Chains A and B, each alone.
Chain A
Amino acid sequence: QVQLKESGPVLVQASETLSLTCTVSGFSLTNYGVIWVRQPPGKGLEWMGIIWRNGNTDYNSALKSRLSINRDTSKSQVFLKMNSLQTDDTAIYYCTRHTLDAWGQGASVTVSS
């Protein structure tokens, strides 16, 4: 069945870089894009960016200068990197198939000052 799973550090220091991995199964990254969404504690959902099935990317303009999304199709993995972290980047980070019909469990990330 289709599954996505986020992994990465739970705690990151301010000004450092966040690196998260989304490992997918049950589908190919050459057939589906993957979206990253985040949710600060007690708040709503924010679309961060997408890597399309052809490998092209689009980013939320508010994050574009700090964010990059890449992938390794042979490992069925999508990578998120975001630099210059601040405390308001504390959130649960989700990856989802671009069709939005399958979501990961989320990775909780706390940015410490």
Chain B
Amino acid sequence: DVVMTQTPPSLSVAIGQSVSISCKSSQSLVASDKNTYLNWLLQSPGRSPKRLIYQVSKLDSGVPDRFSGSGSEKDFTLKISRVEAEDLGVYYCLQGTHLPLTFGSGTKLEIK
């Protein structure tokens, strides 16, 4: 199984600051169709997970452009610019290239 190593496990940030979350995979996430199926999800407190970004850098509809994803092969980053209060929750990376799909362990974002 592909292991997704996500860091840091938690972040505490003031409103308006920027943060980055790293996700490294144990295997390349480039699929046979040349796409890279790396997703970022946010689970707000008491809510279901919600996909923010797919295929490394594509934002889902309605996701603010303060969110951005980057990376390739085995090394990926989620950046949140100008953090807002509504951004708090747990962020997960999820690879969809290889079965079984595997998640990172999560990064809990708290607002100072």
Query: A100's contact among B54, B99, B100, B105, by CB below 8 Å, is which?
Result: B54
In the complex, the answer to whether A47 meets B48 with C-beta atoms within 8 Å is no
Q: Mark B57-88, 1 if CB is under 8 A from A, else 0.
A: 00010000000000000000000000000000
| B51 CB, nearest partner CB in chain A, Å | 5
Q: Mark B74-112, 1 if CB is under 8 A from A, else 0.
A: 000000000000000000101010011111111000000
Contacts of A46 in B (CB 8 A): 103
State whether A103 and B48 are in contact (beta carbons under 8 Å apart), knowing that A44-B92, A45-B92 are contacts in the complex.
Answer: yes
Bound CA–CA A8/B50 (angstroms) = 22
A16 within 8 A of B: no
State whether A58 and B100 are in contact (beta carbons under 8 Å apart), knowing that A44-B105, A100-B94 are contacts in the complex.
Answer: yes
| A96 CB, nearest partner CB in chain B, Å | 8
Chain B residues touching A, range: 20 to 34
Chain A residues touching B, range: 20 to 34
Contacts of B43 in A (CB 8 A): 45
State whether A44 and B48 are in contact (beta carbons under 8 Å apart), knowing that A100-B41, A101-B60 are contacts in the complex.
Answer: no
State whether A45 and B100 are in contact (beta carbons under 8 Å apart), knowing that A100-B39, A100-B94, A101-B60 are contacts in the complex.
Answer: no
Instruction: Give 14 A-B pairs besides A50-B99, A101-B51 with Cβ atoms closer than 8 angstroms.
Output: A44-B92, A44-B103, A45-B92, A45-B94, A45-B103, A47-B103, A61-B1, A94-B48, A100-B39, A100-B54, A100-B94, A100-B96, A101-B54, A104-B48
Bound CA–CA A105/B49 (angstroms) = 9
Bound CA–CA A44/B59 (angstroms) = 23
State whether A47 and B101 are in contact (beta carbons under 8 Å apart), knowing that A100-B41, A100-B94, A103-B49 are contacts in the complex.
Answer: yes
User: Which A residues have a C-beta under 8 Å from some C-beta of B?
Assistant: 35, 37, 44-47, 50, 58-61, 94, 96, 99-101, 103-106
The closest CB in chain A to the CB of B105 belongs to A44
Bound CA–CA A105/B101 (angstroms) = 20
State whether A103 and B50 are in contact (beta carbons under 8 Å apart), knowing that A44-B92, A44-B106, A45-B92 are contacts in the complex.
Answer: yes
The closest CB in chain A to the CB of B90 belongs to A44
